[in-house]
Amino acid sequence: MGKIGKELNIDFVVSTGDNFYDNGLTGITDGAFEDSFTSIYTAESLQKRWYSGAKLIYLIEWLLLSLSLSLVLGNHDYRGDVLAQLSPVLQGVDSRWLCLRSFVLNAGEDTPQHGLEAV
């Protein structure tokens, strides 16, 4: 993933869920956060803010300001403590993590034209 991120000079990544197998996180102090996120995505090309949740609040506007990574929650995540993944405490552990509950996509006339490529 890091190799592709470097090759494509990515601005952000979208994760499609199941961030923590098999049963999500048990809470904000669950070691799975470190084991399955912070310690895994160590490539320089992946050192962007990760945006988590089926929850992409102001995604486009926010990306234009601070290019990041976006995640969604999957069925395995919902087997655990979903609120733990939504907690801002995890962003204190790893600043790339940002998990939000919902999103607003503003693609109106005031939005600057930028190309986004999904890979």
Does residue 56 surpass a pLDDT of 50? Answer: no
d(CA 53, CA 33): 15
SS3 of the chain: helix, strand, coil, percent, to 5: 35, 10, 55
Does residue 45 surpass a pLDDT of 80? Answer: yes
- Residue 59: per-residue pLDDT: 52
pTM confidence score: 0.62
